[in-house]
Structure 1
C-alpha cells in the first residue's frame, strides 16, 4: 500500500527541486540578457544552457501532478 507520508515527503522533495530549477532558469535568463546586451548575435549558447532546466521542470511538474493524484486517492481532501 502507498504510504501517505512517503508521498508527502516526495512532494516536498519535488517542490524543493522545482524551486531550485526555477532559480537556475532565472539565473540563466539573466545571463541571456547580459549576453544579448554584450553581443546580440551570440545568444544561442545561453539559450541552449536553459534547455535542460526547462525539460527537467516539465518532468517535475508531471511527476508532481501524478503524486497529487495518488495522494488524493489515499487521502481524500488532501491539499494540492
Structure 2
C-alpha cells in the first residue's frame, strides 16, 4: 500500500490539538480533496482567494504548533 503522509499529518493534528475546531480539521481535509481534484482530474479549479485563505490558515496553525512544541519541550526538561 502506498504511504499517504498527508493523511497521517491530518490525523496527528487532530490528535495533538483537541482544541482545534472540528471545522478546521474539516477545512484541511476539504483542501486535501481539492488538491487531489486539481492534480488528478483537472487543473485551474483553485482560486487565488482560496490559496490566500489556506496560506493564512497555515500561518495561524504554525503559531499554534510552535506554542505547543515550546510547552511540551519545557515539560520534558522539567523531569
Q: TM-score w.r.t. structure 2 length?
A: 0.50
Report which of the two has the higher share of helix: 1
Q: Which structure has the higher relative contact order (CA within 8 Å, separation 6+)?
A: 1
Q: TM-score w.r.t. structure 1 length?
A: 0.50
**Structure whose CA Rg is larger:** 1
